[in-house]
A and B are shown apart, each in its own frame.
Chain A
Amino acid sequence: MDLEDSPEHAAYRAGVRAWLAANASAAPPRTVLSPPDEDGVRRHRAWQARLADAGYAGVTWPVEHGGAGRGPAQRVVVDQELEAHGLAGVFDFIGVEMVGPTLMAHATAAQCARHLRPLLRADEVWCQLFSEPGAGSDLAAVRTRAQAQPDGGWRVDGQKVWTTHAQHATFGIMLARTDPDVPKHRGLTMFVVPMDAPGVTVRPLRQIGGEAEFNEVFLDGVRLDPGSTVGAPADGWAVALTMLGFERLTVGSGLHATRLERLVAAVAAGEASRTDPLVRSRLGRIATELLALRHFNLRLLTEVAGGGVPGPEAGLAKITTVLASFAAAQLAVDVGGPQALLDAEWGHQVSALPGLRSAGGTEEILRNVIGERVLGLPPEPRI
């Protein structure tokens, strides 16, 4: 058990701190589960570019792709310092954490050369065109159709949903069906879609809180150039699994969890609540979960920093994030009364958390995966 830095990491951390001290005035504040407005998006993108230029976005990306070429431990240090200073991290986390590494693993050298550097600086934002109205947990059931054209290009028709950042995106990475006549996992191909192509329509999806974090994306006769696939045709499922693996590394990393200090402050604000045995009992139990989550994530980070890849048990962190954060928000609002439902912090979380439960893998699917792969239980019947 050692949560202190090695001398090498301490030196790196000191460098990050010095840089943040000089640059923090340009940083947007860190928010939990609340999308910025248009002006805010500009600031967030500019901040990501500044982070990337300093080597603090894409910390583990290879230098040849514009990254800093550092190890996972340094990445952890950067994340910790940004969080500790209440500063935002990268804006296009889908691009940096998921799309970029997937392109490195499956795309051609020419695609990597074209896309990775603008992605890392948020000059070009990316979105993930995976889920559909009829394909969520059962992602391989996607029905968006991509048909090969005589010129070697493709024609795409279909609809995607729950697409974060589609309204800001220059490109989308899209899973589509290219062969409807083979078993479902084998007929899929991954594509790069220019979001300004004729036939692409983005419509915001407002959520409980009123804001539109997600979008629907309609694809009507969209023409894609030859060479738009990522990986070979019919290899789409393998590419999707790579990307979902990177997604699993990002969910539950504590990013979305309620900060314990904020909950304690909410309870401490009222003399009546801080001495109420029922409130104290709830606070003690919720705090226990949030502390457990913090230290569970430190265990996962230890694995990552050592070069390992967390197994499916990492999904437990996402389940705890949602359950504990929801309980925390409920307690804070119970203490604050009806007015707290209207406030920007807790009211917003009450609205945002029910959706988070289904994001990045529903709780039920995560429990299936963990039950089968960690506990060795027999699988669900699958078709």
Chain B
Amino acid sequence: MRHALTEEQTWLGDAVAGALARQDTLRAARAALDGAAPPSLWATAIEAGWPGLLSGEEVDGAALGALEAMLVVEGCGRVLADARLLGHLPATALLEMAGDRALRADLASGRCRAALVDGMADGRRPPAVVARRDEGGLRLRGRVEWVLDAPGAGVLVVCGEDEDGVPMAALLRAESPGVGVEARDAYDATRSLASVVLDDAPAEWLALEPARVATARHLQRALLGAESLGAAGACLDRACDHARERVAFGRAIGSYQAIKHKLVEMLRRIENARSLVFFAGWAWRSRPEEFALAANAVLVGAGDALDLASRESIFVHGGLGATWEHDCSLYYRRAELSRRLAGGADGAADAVAEELLRGA
């Protein structure tokens, strides 16, 4: 039994930090709020081989698993880099099961970028995308809001239901007729989000067992959670640095329990979230039937960790932390938006409950 990272996995995490160190991603995040276009990190992602992390070796992918993908986005989250992997990687994971080889190769190399359009029902909402078959093939209708990384994506992997209420996945080109991708301004300007409108859009059915369609949703939630874990760790580091240096009443403020215990609570939630990332990484490879539970738990745990860490790090920094110039504000924006994406922390909590109650 070994519940720890391998050497290669540790190196991967270090390599991510190295690749991103050449970009001033925090500065770019602030500039983006003032209207500057955020610099694309897709070239960095291609150079590092991230687009093909989950793709098979026969299309020159790295054939790695969810754990490695989570480690990469955790590293991105630490510095608020958004390399558009949250949309791309879950889409590639589905296409690995049912996509054609040429497209998979283009996605693995990064020549083409994909996004996941999750229009599936969940415990709380009906499906947002419904597919029907006619003489011309498969057609999709529906509208999905706040789709991660959809602007500029070459292909969209859409999940929804067929007319009989059975989960299905389909592939379409962004430029196809009936497909509208409307980019949206967001509270965290590093994000790329869109409303996707499908008006009888012709699509190509992906031959997947219905039960496997939701894998993409769960993986996206695990990735969003892992990214949040990285951001939370950065908030904790900053807050600890400040608490060691800032002096009040003749003592470093980190010596006061009111501050110290807060910081330990951040650490506790972060380490819990990391443990859940390990759980999800293990389940992906060794216990696929538990991946949905684990992935949603990652988003709940890491979402709560970032929620707390981003807020409390502002408070530890005092008024300074609440200013436009301070990095704390950028992490806070990331946290506030992230917890409302991909079904949200509440949606993930409901999914955890659903997974547990279904078997009981």
Do A4 and B254 contact each other (CB < 8 Å), given the known contacts A291-B297, A367-B261?
no
Report yes or no: A378 in contact with B251, Cβ–Cβ below 8 A. yes
How many Å from the CB of B9 to the closest CB on chain A?
Answer: 9
What is the bound-complex CA distance between A16 and B241, given in angstroms? 49
A-B contact count (CB 8 A): 177
Give B251-294 interface residues, CB cut-off 8 Å to A. Answer: 251-252, 254-255, 257, 259-261, 263-265, 267-268, 271-273, 275-276, 278-279, 281-282, 285-286, 293-294
Contacts of A319 in B (CB 8 A): 268
Instruction: Output the least CB separation between B11 and chain A (Å).
Output: 16
A138 contacts the other chain (Cβ, under 8 Å)? no
A289 and B304 alpha carbons, distance in the complex (Å): 11
Please tell me if B2 contacts chain A, counting CB pairs below 8 Å: yes
- Structural contact, B278 and A299, CB atoms closer than 8 A: yes
A280 within 8 A of B: yes
Pick from A295, A376, A379: contact of B240, CB below 8 A: A376
A296 to B3, CA, bound (A): 9
Pick out which of these stretches binds chain A: B38-46, B209-217, B318-326, B344-352.
B344-352
A280 B300 Cβ-Cβ under 8 A: no
Query: Known: A3-B3, A277-B124, A281-B350. Is A288-B67 also a contact (CB below 8 A)?
Result: no
- Give chain A interface residues in 1-56, CB to chain B under 8 Å: 1-5, 9
Q: Which residues of A contact B248 (CB under 8 A)?
A: none
- Which 10 residue pairs spanning A and B have beta carbons closest together? A284-B349, A292-B272, A268-B360, A377-B254, A295-B275, A284-B352, A371-B260, A280-B353, A1-B282, A378-B255
Whether a CB of chain B sits under 8 angstroms from the CB of A88 is no
Whether A378 contacts B264 by the Cβ 8 Å rule is: no
Chain B nearest CB, measured from A257 CB (Å): 13
CB <8 Å contact, B257 and A380: yes
Provide 27 A-B residue pairs closer than 8 Å at the C-beta atoms, listed in order of the A residue. Answer: A3-B1, A3-B2, A5-B1, A73-B1, A264-B356, A267-B360, A268-B360, A280-B354, A281-B350, A283-B352, A284-B349, A284-B351, A287-B297, A288-B300, A291-B279, A292-B276, A295-B275, A295-B276, A295-B278, A299-B275, A305-B2, A320-B272, A370-B267, A371-B254, A375-B260, A377-B255, A377-B263
B267 touches A301 (CB 8 A): no
B1–A287 touching, CB < 8 Å = no
Q: Is A205 an interface residue (CB 8 A)?
A: no
Q: How near does chain B come to A106, taking the closest CB pair, in angstroms?
A: 31
B1 contacts A320, C-beta separation under 8 Å? no
What's the least CB distance linking B297 to chain A, in Å? 5
As a 0/1 sequence over residues 263 to 279 of chain A, the CB contacts with chain B under 8 angstroms (1 = contact) are 01101100000100101
A364:B257 contact, CB within 8 angstroms? yes
Q: Does B340 contact A (CB under 8 A)?
A: no
B244 engages A378 (CB within 8 Å): yes
CB distance from A145 to the nearest CB of B (A): 32
Q: How far is the CB of B251 from chain A (nearest CB, A)?
A: 7
Chain A residues proximal to chain B, CB less than 8 Å: 1-5, 9, 73, 76, 260, 264-265, 267-268, 274, 277, 279-281, 283-285, 287-289, 291-296, 298-299, 301-303, 305, 313, 316, 319-320, 364, 367-368, 370-372, 374-381
Is B357 interfacial (CB 8 A cutoff)? yes
Q: Do the beta carbons of B1 and A2 come within 8 Å of each other?
A: yes
* Contact (A288, B268) CB under 8 Å given A264-B360, A280-B123, A377-B263: no
Which residues on A sit within 8 Å (CB–CB) of B346? Answer: 281
The distance in angstroms between the C-alpha atoms of A376 and B271, with both chains bound, is 16
Q: Report the minimal beta-carbon distance from B206 to chain A, rounded to whole angstroms.
A: 28
B232 interface residue per 8 A CB criterion: no
Query: How far, in whole Å, are A190 and B169 apart by their CA atoms in the complex?
Result: 69
B127 is an interface residue with CB less than 8 A from chain A? no
Docked complex Cα distance between A93 and B285 (Å): 36
* Least CB distance, B72 to chain A, in whole angstroms: 16
B353-A281 in contact (CB<8A):
yes
- Pick the contact of A292: B3, B236, B260, B275 (CB < 8 A): B275
- The residue in chain B whose Cβ has the minimal distance to the Cβ of A80 is B1
Considering the chains assembled together, what is the distance between the CA atoms of A336 and B218 in angstroms?
32
List residues of chain B with CB within 8 A of the CB of A264. Answer: 356-357, 360
